[in-house]
Amino acid sequence: MNTLLKHFNTTYNTAPFSKIKTEDYKPAIITLIKDTKKEIDAIANTTDTPTFKNTIEALEYSGQQLNRATSIFFNLNSAETNDEIQKIAQELSPILSEFGNDITLNEALFKRVKTVYDGKDSLTLTTEQHTLLDKKYKSFSRNGANLNEADKLKLRDIDKKLAQLKLQFGENVLAETNKYQMVITNENDLSGLPEGAKEAAKQLAESKDIDGWLITLDYPSYIPFMTYADNRDLREELAKASGSKAFKGDALDNQQNVLDIAKLRYQRAQLLGYKTHAHFVLEERMAETPEKVEAFLNELLEKAKPAAEKEFKNLQEFAKELDGISRLEKWDSAYYSEKLKQKLFDLDDEQLKPYFKLENVIDGVFTIAKKLFGLEFEHITTIDKYHDEVLTYKVTDQKGELVSIFYADFFPRPGKRNGAWMTSYKSQYIENSVNERPHISNVCNFTKPTKSKPSLLTFNEVTTLFHEFGHALHGMLANTTYPSLSGTNVYWDFVELPSQILENWCYEKEALELFATHYETGEVIPMELISKIKDSSTFHEGMQTLRQLSFGLLDMSWHGTNPSAITDVKTHEIEAFKNTELYPDVKQNCMSTAFSHIFQGGYSSGYYSYKWAEVLDADAFNYFKQNGIFNIEIATKFKDNVLSQGGTENPMVLYKRFRGQEPQPEALLKRAGLLPK
């Protein structure tokens, strides 16, 4: 019997990873699609008068086993993939896309949904039910239900192509990341690199039977080399290797994929009656329109650019004075920024890392979650996991009742894509008076332990862990009736608030003293270092802001206009970057071909949301700061009005209920040092 086809008879109903064989996925998912089609047909073809319960709720709760099977499969395709899984993903994606179209283009089903929707004013519904009804109706109307038959066929074709192209894009980026190796045989070429990074490079080489030291494009290898290695030629080689991912005109090249994805998205939007893909996407966002997004990005650009240009000029002068560098290049950025930071603040990551042993940081974020939200985290080994490195936790509330199961997967490996993300293996929802609790996962790529040292995190890795854990809390504390409105199922420009607000605790003495202890001596991080962390927190903030804005503007350039006339990805990118570029362009490099957020993930027309959410998080944390960073009353308001509510109401309504006012952008500009404090 295929394990994926039946109820998971496991503790806490967790995924039985060890019992699932790779060859189980495709037949199981195809069978579950057929089963779900029967459920859908039963809803669509009943002769009963359409009601909220027999149509909207029935649709909401359909296909649960299919949802679980696909979430397991596609999560593994990101965190623990192989050639076989990738092949199955390529085969399944168009089938699932077609199935999605079968639902949204089902005329009998849409007719029933529309009947309930048209009569909504006469129904007695809760706020959450109103939201669900609106969302269900739009899931049809925004996906072609009102199209004629010929256009419905066009839409199906576009969606099938997009599903395959996005997968291919991601596979190419992962293959490029895994393919590159810089083997160093002369130890002098490692000059400047911290001992821990050298040891990790040695260990990595040994694991592959290579003599010498191995540097790869995985962040824990790439970032230290770019930050500390004195050998400028090797930094250049590594930067060009990273920047040219899927931009080499070979079998792994993504240029045509980028052009095809952008053009198909535009054609899809046009077919549905929208001006551009961005107009389609932003209709369901806090920002509402591309015009508002561009105004927001350009307003921040106006504030940040003078600061960024001043910072860049200072960095150029510093590099020239230090090493006679006449022209600062992209591969000099992290290296000289780190040197200047050390000079200005007498602070570098190597001083901080001994205080950020991974296990201590995990305990710290758990302690902060306990102080704020009353959560307890118990490490358990009785549930199945998909890789030995994954840690598993049972999360309970103050009454000892189950809140969530939490998976944590921290280290890079060949089958895992770069970056850090939060995902879910099981949604939270309430059905038949049972509150089904969620199974949440954080996946990261942090510095691995070596033979002589545990995993010691850079401060950037610490903030990344807190960021992803903020998303995890949004998933864990979900408390809504319907799965599609639960947890992180919110407007995309609201989803980063819980993650970004939690990063703020990393800079606070009261929080750092809970977990930042020296891994050898147990000494609490000295006040002097905490002061330096705070003082340096706005270092090069202008340049960092400009960088983020450039990504947002690039995203909008692909999706906020008609891309049909674009024939050259690099030329288009140069034009999009022209108002934010500080460093000389590198002709071999291209960002779009590896910009997975917007071409593979869900951030198309949404990259601006990181900055948008910063406005929210700065304003929200300001509220904590005024009343105490562990103020229970405010933490409870945040949990009750933001973390637990998912997408049940308009996010601005939820935010104002928590904060008592709309967010004020001044808090962000002040925190970033772009306004007088």
Question: Which CATH fold would you assign to the domain 3-104+106-142?
Answer: Glutathione S-transferase Yfyf (Class Pi); Chain A, domain 2 (1.20.1050)
Q: What is the pLDDT of residue 670?
A: 85
Q: Which of 311, 468, 496, 541 is catalytic?
A: 468
Give the mean pLDDT of the chain: 96
* Phi, psi (degrees; rounded to nearest 5) at 439: -115, 115
CB 357 within 8 A of CB 515: no
Determine if the pTM surpasses 0.85: yes
Q: What percent of the chain has pLDDT over 90?
A: 95
Alpha carbon distance 435, 10 (integer Å): 17
- The angle, 0 to 180 degrees and rounded to 10, between the axes of the packed helices 107-118 and 25-45 is 50
Q: Where are the beta strands (DSSP E) in 238-390?
A: 376-379
Alpha carbon distance 521, 449 (integer Å): 18
Half-sphere exposure in the Cβ direction for 442 (13 Å, CA): 26
Which range among 166-170, 513-517, 531-535 shows the weakest confidence by mean pLDDT?
Answer: 531-535
* Phi, psi (degrees; rounded to nearest 5) at 525: -50, 130
Instruction: Note the CATH number of domain 356-538.
Output: 1.10.1370.40
Q: What is the mean pLDDT of residues 235-245?
A: 98
The position carrying tokens 């490195």 is 389
Structure tokens at 65: 């086993």
Alpha carbon distance 490, 651 (integer Å): 8
Half-sphere exposure in the Cβ direction for 573 (13 Å, CA): 19
Half-sphere exposure in the Cβ direction for 606 (13 Å, CA): 23
All residues at 6 or more sequence positions from 502 whose CB lies less than 8 Å from its CB, including other chains: 365, 368, 466, 467, 469, 470, 473
1 by Cβ neighbours in 10 Å (0-12 / 13-18 / 19+) ranks as exposed
All residues at 6 or more sequence positions from 463 whose CB lies less than 8 Å from its CB, including other chains: 503, 506
Q: Three-state SS for 324? A: coil
Q: Which of 596, 649, 658, 558 is nearest to 168 (CA)?
A: 596
Q: What is the mean pLDDT of residues 100-115?
A: 96
pLDDT band at 676 (very low <50, low <70, confident <90, very high): low
Residue type (1 letter), 228 = Y
Residue type (1 letter), 120 = K
Q: What is the pLDDT of residue 291?
A: 96
Q: What is the pLDDT of residue 610?
A: 92
pLDDT band at 495 (very low <50, low <70, confident <90, very high): very high
Structure tokens at 208: 């592959």
Asked about 329 being catalytic, the answer comes back as: no
Instruction: Summarize pLDDT for 166-195 with one digit per residue, the tens.
Output: 999 999 999 999 999 999 999 999 999 999
Q: Which of 626, 586, 640 is nearest to 245 (CA)?
A: 586
Q: What is the pLDDT of residue 7?
A: 86
Q: Which of 89, 71, 55 is nearest to 170 (CA)?
A: 89
pLDDT band at 330 (very low <50, low <70, confident <90, very high): very high
CB 454 within 8 A of CB 507: no
Q: What is the pLDDT of residue 294?
A: 95
Q: What is the pLDDT of residue 332?
A: 98
Q: What is the largest CA-CA distance in the chain?
A: 82
Instruction: Summarize pLDDT for 303-312 with one digit per residue, the tens.
Output: 999 999 999 9
What are the residues facing 517 on neighbouring strands? Answer: 524
Q: What percent of the chain has pLDDT over 70?
A: 100
Q: What is the dihedral of CA 25, 31, 32, 34, to 10 degrees?
A: 150
Q: What is the pLDDT of residue 409?
A: 98
Q: What is the pLDDT of residue 119?
A: 97
What are the residue ranges spanned by the domains of the chain? 3-104+106-142, 180-239, 356-538
CB 138 within 8 A of CB 284: yes
Instruction: Summarize pLDDT for 571-610 with one digit per residue, the tens.
Output: 999 999 999 999 999 999 999 999 999 999 889 999 999 9
Whether 677 has a pLDDT exceeding 60, the answer reads no
All residues at 6 or more sequence positions from 68 whose CB lies less than 8 Å from its CB, including other chains: 4, 8, 15, 425, 426
Distance of CA 117 to the CA centre of its chain: 33
